[in-house]
Amino acid sequence: MQQLADVKTICEQEARIKTLEAQRAQLQAGQPCPLCGSTSHPAVEAYQALEPGVNQARLLTLEKEVKKLGEEGATLRGQLDALTKQLQRDENEAQRLAYALRCSSDKMSKHLLNNGKPSRPASISPCSHRTIFNRGWMHKMSTNASCGYSANGMNYKGRLPRIISKLSSINSKLNNASSSS
């Protein structure tokens, strides 16, 4: 931004110098300047060599670059907002799944302590009932420990690590987007 401001100032100065060209053309060596009275005019040749178009082109390039960076920043802010919302949804889902897994684990432990005999529906823990039955899921517990706990075909042991991995990926994207802005 400072570079843009500097080039803009240079362009304004060049435009002002260019408007004084008629007065500069009247300057003669050894004659006093009508503006300052000096008889020495060392900068006349430098002013005559002045090419305002060079800095003007540079100014236009910098303005386009600043505009492009502003648009990229807006895009990144939009992506950051979307990723933040997705992260929140995924964190909520991970918490819900972790809670359901804990409740299912409690139920499985009670089932195994009951020597594998089905327990009465009244013995379902409140959290299992809220988490699994209130959501309309069929409560199917596997006694095979290698299969993991499942409800309606959803394997919590397999799904939770994927969600945690997805959260980690989104968090990395958020960090990258934040450091780019």
Residue 119 lies in a domain: yes
Separation of first and last alpha carbons in the chain: 15
State the average pLDDT over residues 19-36. 75
pTM above 0.75, yes or no: no
Residue 23 lies in a domain: no
Split at pLDDT 50, 70, 90, the class of 38 is: confident
Closest CA to 33 of 10, 46, 43: 43
Split at pLDDT 50, 70, 90, the class of 178 is: low
pLDDT 10s digits, 101-119: 888 888 877 877 776 565 5
* pLDDT: which is higher, 12 or 137: 12
Residue 58 lies in a domain: no
pLDDT 10s digits, 51-100: 667 778 888 888 898 888 888 888 888 888 888 899 999 999 999 998 98
Dihedral sign of CA atoms 18, 49, 65, 7 in order: negative
**Joined tokens for residue 142:** 């596997």
Domain interval for residue 111: 87-180
Residue 126 lies in a domain: yes
Residue 60 lies in a domain: no
Rounded Cα distance, 149 and 105, in Å? 7
Split at pLDDT 50, 70, 90, the class of 50 is: low
Closest CA to 12 of 46, 44, 69, 52: 52
CB 119, CB 108: distance < 8 Å: no
Split at pLDDT 50, 70, 90, the class of 47 is: low
* pLDDT: which is higher, 49 or 53: 53
Closest CA to 125 of 108, 140, 137: 108
Residue 170 lies in a domain: yes
Residue 166 lies in a domain: yes
Q: How many residues can be counted in the chain?
A: 181
151: phi then psi, degrees, rounded to nearest 5 = -135, 120
Residue 97 lies in a domain: yes
Number of domains in the chain: 1
Split at pLDDT 50, 70, 90, the class of 131 is: very low
Split at pLDDT 50, 70, 90, the class of 25 is: confident
* pLDDT: which is higher, 147 or 74: 74
CA 37 to chain CA mean position, Å: 60
pLDDT 10s digits, 148-177: 444 444 444 556 666 666 666 676 666 665
